[in-house]
Amino acid sequence: MIVDLPGTTTGAVNRKLMDLRDEGGVVALGRVLTLVVLASEGTEEEAIEAANAASREHPCRIIVHVPVEQGDGATDGMDAQIRVGGDAGAAEVIVLRCSGVLAEVDEPLVSALLLPDAPIVAWWPRRLPVNAAASSIGAIAHRRITDSGNAPDTRAALGRIGQTYTAGDTDLAWTRLTNWRLQLAAAVDEFIADGGDVTRVTDVRVAGSVDSPSTTLLAAWLSLRLGVEATVHDQPPGLGIGRVEIVTGDGSVTLVRPDAEVATLTMPGQTDQRIALPKRTLQECLAEELRRLDPDEVFGEVVTEGLPLCHWN
């Protein structure tokens, strides 16, 4: 069910939600969090689709703020839409299309719509804030999710995240690395079990797209874990991570993904292994981030301590 409320206020939206609840169309009980989505005009449906899919694992209230461009002298106003039932997954979705001063979202604008006593997660799918934790919505959120992969300059975006990092911050470029980190950690453990010496690592090389912040974050993580400055080798845009090589005195551990689906793991004295390593979807990454409401300490170490250890070739 979709309910349109043109020219409205958040107070009126909240009253309509209460009416729908009384009529049996909206169930607030069981919602585990409020997800505030700071979307961009024209891309909000992609974010709503991902949030709806994630809500099947994490029932929530989704508040989507969309600034509407109306040129100079735009009037202050808001058109709202409430989506429940089959149009909202396991969530209830509130879309706020705002113009004028309301186009700049702040805590008072959405406060009436927040679930009481429920954690708040803020997500910027496209527009990357200068400092997520210092923003009005970020300041009240338990977790703050950005996506540096959508920034015009991904390396500059990662550098800014590292400079402004506050416990509770995370980035989907990091979440996209989960399977890579699991595979590499398992490979290094197996290498050690077979007698390999990771204290003799002499070089770490990571190759990936020049526009892939995940490549940089993977190199930073490996630098921290292995104690060796990693070299990032740029590849053409759009390919993602292509190759990781950990060079030791006992041989090299190499994980190569020539396409977007299958990687090959090569280790000293072993037959090559083919491993399913597909690119993760936006829904998968968002659902993973909503599973935890505590700070991601490893991500904090990587962006504050690991990034300075990387260099590019």
Does the pTM of the predicted model rise above 0.85? yes
User: Is 134's pLDDT higher than 90?
Assistant: yes
Quote the pLDDT of residue 17: 87
Mean predicted confidence (pLDDT) in 86-101: 83
What is the percent of the chain where pLDDT is above 70?
95
CA-nearest of 14, 86, 52 to 282 is 52
Least confident of 21-35, 79-93, 117-131, 222-236: 21-35
User: Is 26's pLDDT higher than 60?
Assistant: no
pLDDT, the chain, mean: 91
pLDDT tens-digit readout, 282-308 = 999 999 999 988 999 999 999 999 999
Quote the pLDDT of residue 313: 80
CA 5 centroid distance within chain: 30
Quote the pLDDT of residue 29: 52
Q: Dihedrals φ, ψ of 147, to 5°?
A: -145, 90
Residue pair 94/63 in contact by the 8 Å Cβ criterion: yes
Mean predicted confidence (pLDDT) in 105-120: 92
Q: Residue 127, class by beta-carbon neighbours within 10 Å (0-12 exposed, 13-18 middle, 19+ buried)?
A: middle
Q: Residue 139, class by beta-carbon neighbours within 10 Å (0-12 exposed, 13-18 middle, 19+ buried)?
A: middle
User: Is 25's pLDDT higher than 80?
Assistant: no
User: Is 87's pLDDT higher than 80?
Assistant: no
Quote the pLDDT of residue 205: 97
Q: Where are the domains of the chain?
A: 2-171, 178-279
pLDDT tens-digit readout, 177-224 = 999 999 999 999 998 888 878 788 999 999 999 999 999 999 999 999
Least confident of 2-6, 21-25, 77-81, 279-283: 21-25
Q: How far apart are alpha carbons 198 and 248 in whole angstroms?
A: 7
pLDDT tens-digit readout, 228-270 = 999 999 998 888 999 999 999 888 999 999 987 899 999 998 9
